[in-house]
Amino acid sequence: MSDRYGEFVQSPLGKKVAKNLGLPLPTKLDRFEPGEKVVRGSVLFGSASGDDSRLSDAIAQVLNSLHADVYVAGDDAHKDVLSGAGVEAKDSEGHTEKYKVLVFDASNIAHAPDLKEMYDFFHPVARQVEKSGRVIIIGRPPEECDRIGKTLSQRALEGFVKSVGKEFKNGITAQLIYVSEGEEANLDSTLRFFMSARSAYVSGQVVRVGAGSVVDVDWSKPLAGKTVLVTGASRGIGESMSRVLARDGAHVICLDVPQQQADLQKVAGEIGGSTLALDITADDAGEKIAEAAAKRNGLDAIIHNAGITRDKTLAKMDDKQWDMVININLQSIAMINDYLFDNDVLNENARIVCVSSISGIAGNLGQTNYATSKAGVIGLVQATAKKLKAEGRGITINAVAPGFIETQMTAAIPLTIREAGRRMNSMSQGGLPIDVAETTAWLAAPASGGVNGNIVRVCGQSLLGA
């Protein structure tokens, strides 16, 4: 589905018309291209003053491994942290060019007045961020802080980040990553994702990184040797997920209903994957998935993407429309997961990624069935994450919650509602299937072991449910 308005405003005339009429001005977002650097520009690093340098050390390690062009703001202590990790950072004073990434370690902020250090870091460079730039703040989970001053100041970071996401425009995203004490080594895959063009349509998110196994990764093929199953893989978001996961090195078992066999075979053929024609609501769906997985030594990840809408206001909705949506979008996931857990189909450190929706967070007119199912997916992820953490096999579960993504599903929405959905976010545009796919690939990666129980919206910071 093409966004004609979005294309028009890329032209000089379109830009002028949109500016004069006060219309939204979507920026063409940078998206990841294989072989390109993770950060396509320079990074400005800063940190709140304090004794704990564990998170700054972890950030410095990542910057070193990226061979990024790094500038440092503030005193020499920050420079020392970076040089300790092998990063030769330049002083930011007098630097007038734009940065691609601003990254700030806020973990030492422990009282409300200390929040001024965050202001002092970002204020002078607020107009110095490139298009599709990244603003990232890293702190400690407020619920794990033992003093009120620390809890309130770490929680305060969220308001700052979400406001920056709404203010900066130009495709610039803003995120907050909370890392549990002692789990700094797990920051790597999450920080890389949010610094890169892979997170083009993800903004205003708060992600928690906790305990998990740390693994060595070949970052050019982070899923090499892994087997991943994607449901609803014949088109739309599921097709894009399959392609991205295969690009990252996985063997993908592409699953879709038998009626989509031809398209499914085309996708699987093009990515060197295999197919499984199956209705996920079938009584033996778990068994069939287990059989397919057994041929490849078990599953390293399953992506529960298949889903449907049957929109009607509640008064006009018949019980078939209710039942079908709950059954496909929610009950089938619960049933399949139960089977996979009971029969040890998932390998150690396996990843489960479910697809929710911002409708499940905000609710939506005409979608009582759909929003119920997608809110249920969030409940399923939260409950399962606790169980998996207690089991200690390194398996994680997370959800992506897409906003308005350009697919057949959204093409079917009436024009005026479609146009409103497309523009009501900080990016003033719809996302692409690849944006959900890239987010899924980050959550599905072996290196993301510390990310468990998160619901990550891929919605350009949609106003709905914000």
Helix (H, G, I), strand (E, B) or coil at 276: strand
Amino acid at 308: I
Contact mark string toward ligand NAP, 65..104, x via CB under 6 A: ----------------------------------------
Residue count of the chain: 466
Q: Contact between 275 and ligand NAP (CB under 6 A)?
A: no
Contact with ligand NAP (CB under 6 A) among 307, 376, 449, 460: 307
* Structure tokens given for 180: 């549990």
Q: 66 or 303, CB closer to ligand NAP? A: 303
Q: Taking the complex as a whole, how short is the minimal distance between the CB of residue 319 and ligand NAP, in angstroms? A: 18
In angstroms, the CA 260 to CA 277 distance is 8
Q: 156 or 246, CB closer to ligand NAP? A: 246
Q: Contact between 404 and ligand NAP (CB under 6 A)?
A: yes
In angstroms, the CA 338 to CA 332 distance is 10
Contact with ligand NAP (CB under 6 A) among 47, 153, 368, 407: 407
Q: Are 43 and 194 in contact (CB under 8 A)?
A: no
Q: Taking the complex as a whole, how short is the minimal distance between the CB of residue 202 and ligand NAP, in angstroms? A: 14
Q: 70 or 400, CB closer to ligand NAP? A: 400
Query: Which strands sit side by side in the sheet containing 99-105, from one edge to the other?
Result: 90-91, 69-72, 42-47, 99-105, 129-139, 173-179, 205-209
- The H or E element spanning position 139 is strand 129-139
Q: 165 or 402, CB closer to ligand NAP? A: 402
Q: Are 357 and 401 in contact (CB under 8 A)?
A: yes
Q: Are 246 and 221 in contact (CB under 8 A)?
A: no
Q: Contact between 303 and ligand NAP (CB under 6 A)?
A: no
Q: 20 or 416, CB closer to ligand NAP? A: 416
Contact with ligand NAP (CB under 6 A) among 9, 303, 355, 451: 355
In angstroms, the CA 218 to CA 42 distance is 23
Residue 339 bears catalytic tag? no
Catalytic residue IDs: 370
* Residues found near ligand NAP in the complex (CB under 6 A): 231-232, 234-238, 256-257, 259-260, 279-281, 305-308, 328, 355, 357, 402, 404-405, 407-410
